[in-house]
Amino acid sequence: MASPADKSGPAPKNAPAHDVHATTEHGGGHGGGSAFPPFNVDTFAPQLIWLTLTFVALYVLMSKVALPRIAEVVEGRRERIQGDLDAAERLKGETEKALAAYEQAHADARAKASGIAKETRDRLAAETDKERSRVDTLINVKLAEAESSIAATKKKALASVNDIAADVAGSLVAKLLGSNPAPDEVRKALAPVGE
């Protein structure tokens, strides 16, 4: 690519030679012939001074203002987290105590219920035995009365059997012989030998 000096043609004869050299050395005349400011050797020392001053100012500002505030926030968060952890640990302990108390109460209630059930079973068994004994006694009394009544009925029936047998035998004799025998004679005839 051609430089701007080449486009315009040869330099006039009366133009100084250092001007052409200056334009090509400083970038061909862009922006008045100055280089990029941070790389400019003439402004390098003041830039270092300002960089140092700015760095020191920022360091002081950070160490005196920003970092203490950040440290306070971090410390506050740490204390809040530690407080939350302590509260969680305390609540965990309380929960474990409550759970142990619940389990103990549950075991006590189960034992008490078992005791009440056993006591009720024993009481009902005693009442049942007592009622069974009363019913057995009542049955024995009724059975004795029934046996006594049966024995009396049997004795009465046996006593009347002789009378019935005498009547039946008298009726048979009357039909066979045609005359009625005397009831005393029929009884004597039916009486067992030895009476």
Given the structure tokens 């790389």, which residue do they identify? 39
**Three-state secondary-structure class, residue 131:** helix
* pLDDT of 193 above 70: no
| Residue 89: per-residue pLDDT | 94
Kindly state whether residue 11 falls inside one of the protein's structural domains.
no
Give the pLDDT band of residue 192 (cuts 50, 70, 90). low
The pTM for the full model equals 0.37
- pLDDT tens across 91-128, in order? 999 999 999 999 999 999 999 999 999 999 999 999 99
Write out the residue range of the structural domain in which residue 151 sits. 147-190
Kindly state whether residue 170 falls inside one of the protein's structural domains.
yes
Kindly state whether residue 55 falls inside one of the protein's structural domains.
no
Give the pLDDT band of residue 78 (cuts 50, 70, 90). very high
Instruction: Give the tokens for residue 140.
Output: 């024995």
- pLDDT tens across 8-49, in order? 555 555 555 444 444 444 444 445 556 677 777 888 888 889
Kindly state whether residue 151 falls inside one of the protein's structural domains.
yes
H/E run at residue 19? helix 17-25
Kindly state whether residue 152 falls inside one of the protein's structural domains.
yes
8 A C-beta contact, residue 84 and residue 91: no
Tally the domains of the chain.
1
Kindly state whether residue 62 falls inside one of the protein's structural domains.
no
Kindly state whether residue 47 falls inside one of the protein's structural domains.
no
Cα(189)–Cα(30) distance, integer angstroms: 180
Average pLDDT over residues 68-73: 92
Give the pLDDT band of residue 182 (cuts 50, 70, 90). confident
Cα(146)–Cα(154) distance, integer angstroms: 12
Kindly state whether residue 185 falls inside one of the protein's structural domains.
yes
Range of weakest confidence among 27-31, 75-79, 182-186: 27-31
